[in-house]
Structure 1
Amino acid sequence: MSDTPRTHAPQVPSPWKAPRGMRVLLAMSLMLASTAGCARQGTDVNPGKSFANPGNAQFADAVLRDDEALARQLLAAGANPDAVDDNGQPLLQWAMKRGDRGAVRLLLALGADPARGDQDGRTALHLAAMGKTPGWLEALLEHGMSPDTPNTVTGATPLFDALRAGSEDNIRVLLGAGARLDVADRNGTTPLHQAALVKDSGAVLRFLEGGADPRATDRTGATFQDYLYSGDPKLLDVATRRDLEKIDAWLGAKGVAVKPRG
């Protein structure tokens, strides 16, 4: 995700000099005017990502144009900073996928909830954990998000998504922010299980050394060893074989039985 060049709309006369009642009426009239316009042109302010509510569509457009004054007027008139598009994606994540850092900062300042999940339960932090653009994770963590924010559907933390994405940088950032290794999703899957499932032997070793419970079982009764590499070790690369040898040595030193592979 790369930053999108920002353009600014011509400034409109400030409504803030009028009494509060007049300001709200003005914002409502703007929303009503947008309804007529959207009826003719649709509410799609980003190709393929539309907002059915005209007020939310205009709010999204104001945020993209960095028109904070208009965005606040629309909020006062009922626009929702946590509105979801026609794919169930919250406005904050919608802006992140555009690579628009200014829009993300403005949405957070206007009260958008970064812990709001999309239709799959992923929050803004989960989306950042899957991304390759540097800075998203740091920005959301600095905003106050917990590195253990749960997926609103599965309960998995962002560390699970960083593992699935194979992002060592994001794994490191989350661990540095205090991401826990003793959490589990609603299936009992721990980060250690997930690391084994995606065959990230380096992360498995790091998690074990960081205090992950090697005996933890998921809902099926499986430990991480049940998901680690199986088959002919000769087919594995040198680094992976070295990691597996270290994992076996670590387990043996802790008195944990090593399950045979293959």
Structure 2
Amino acid sequence: MNPHDRLLLDAARAGDTDAVRAALAAGAAPETRDEDLRTPLLLAVLGDHLRAAEVLVAAGADPNAPDSRADSPWLVTGVTGSVRMMRALLPAGPDLTQRNRFGGISLIPAAERGHVGYVRAVLAETDVRVDHVNRLGWTALLEAVILGDGGSRHEEVVRLLLAAGADPWLADSEGVTAYEHAVRRGFAGLARLLAAAQDRSGGDGRSGP
């Protein structure tokens, strides 16, 4: 590996913005990879090193470059829930349809983890598909209920998803809706939100993607 590339990877991982600039100026490649195929931008995003990421984006770094686990800088913003990093990557043109190893887009892990600010921002500032279905048969709405804790953060995530047009009747691969999952898990607040949403949508009992 070019020694400048190694310096760039180390600088991005540490969030050393000056060292990132120096390595790039010395000829380091923005798309160089470490042993796990992580680019400098992905390393900066993982550490939430905003300034380093901004320098890399300005240098043309790819927000969609996947590593060995099919994670990318853009997808990882949904995992970390960093709104400022999400916004830093938008000028680079991230692929909103890019899928992680579970077949999910960035919105889905954000919903699962209860990242309210991220969910609010990505729904308002991008054209992300709110009802995308991953390989498990789950949408962001389903994942917020199935893997969430039923608390106030996940209730707010569900409100945001429903306000953005999420279909409360979409069921998982076994035909179970988010409302039914909420009832099964004893999440009374989520069950009320979802029941009201089903009523508003006409109460037609639809299920399935």
Q: 2:132 aligns with which of 172, 183, 207?
A: 183
Q: 1:163 aligns with which of 104, 111, 119?
A: 111
Measure how far apart 1:72 and its partner are: 4.2
CA gap of 1:212–1:134, structure 2 versus 1, over 3 A, is closer
Counterparts of 1:101 and 1:201, CA distance in 2: 29
Equivalent runs, 1:145-164 vs 2, <5 Å: 145-146=94-95, 148-164=96-112
Q: Which amino acid aligns with 1:211?
A: G
Measure how far apart 1:159 and its partner are: 0.9
Q: Which residue is 1:90 aligned to? A: 39
Measure how far apart 1:57 and its partner are: 0.5
Given that residues 44 and 53 in structure 2 are in contact (C-alpha distance below 8 angstroms), is that contact kept between their aligned partners in structure 1?
Answer: yes
Counterparts of 1:186 and 1:247, CA distance in 2: 23
Q: 1:192 aligns with which of 130, 141, 145?
A: 141
CA gap of 1:185–1:192, structure 2 versus 1, over 3 A, is same
Q: Which residue is 2:162 aligned to? A: 208
| 1:77-97 C-alpha deviation (Å, 9 max, x unpaired) | xxx422332344322121233
Larger deviation, residues 222-231 vs 162-171:
222-231
If asked which structure has higher relative contact order (CA below 8 Å, sep 6+), I would say 2
Measure how far apart 1:115 and its partner are: 0.8
Q: Which amino acid aligns with 2:184?
A: S
Given that residues 50 and 88 in structure 2 are in contact (C-alpha distance below 8 angstroms), is that contact kept between their aligned partners in structure 1?
Answer: no
CA gap of 1:207–1:256, structure 2 versus 1, over 3 A, is farther
Q: Which amino acid aligns with 1:225?
A: Y
Q: Which residue is 2:24 aligned to? A: 71
Given that residues 78 and 118 in structure 2 are in contact (C-alpha distance below 8 angstroms), is that contact kept between their aligned partners in structure 1?
Answer: yes
Q: What is the number of equivalent residue pairs in this alignment?
A: 196
| 1:46-95 C-alpha deviation (Å, 9 max, x unpaired) | xxxxxx664521343577444646524424xxxx4223323443221212
Given that residues 130 and 161 in structure 1 are in contact (C-alpha distance below 8 angstroms), is that contact kept between their aligned partners in structure 2?
Answer: yes
CA gap of 1:256–1:207, structure 2 versus 1, over 3 A, is farther
CA gap of 1:244–1:57, structure 2 versus 1, over 3 A, is same
Given that residues 88 and 118 in structure 1 are in contact (C-alpha distance below 8 angstroms), is that contact kept between their aligned partners in structure 2?
Answer: yes
| 1:191-215 C-alpha deviation (Å, 9 max, x unpaired) | 2221221243443344334322233
Q: Which amino acid aligns with 2:75?
A: H
Given that residues 117 and 151 in structure 1 are in contact (C-alpha distance below 8 angstroms), is that contact kept between their aligned partners in structure 2?
Answer: no
Counterparts of 2:90 and 2:140, CA distance in 1: 19
Q: TM-score, normalising length from structure 2?
A: 0.74
Q: Which residue is 1:139 aligned to? A: 88
2:165 is the alignment partner of 1:225: no
Q: TM-score, normalising length from structure 1?
A: 0.61
Measure how far apart 1:175 and its partner are: 0.9
CA gap of 1:245–1:214, structure 2 versus 1, over 3 A, is closer
Aligned Cα RMSD in Å? 3.2
Measure how far apart 1:251 and its partner are: 1.7
Q: 2:196 aligns with which of 249, 255, 258?
A: 249
Q: Which amino acid aligns with 1:167?
A: H
Q: Which runs of 5+ in 1 are unaligned?
A: 1-51
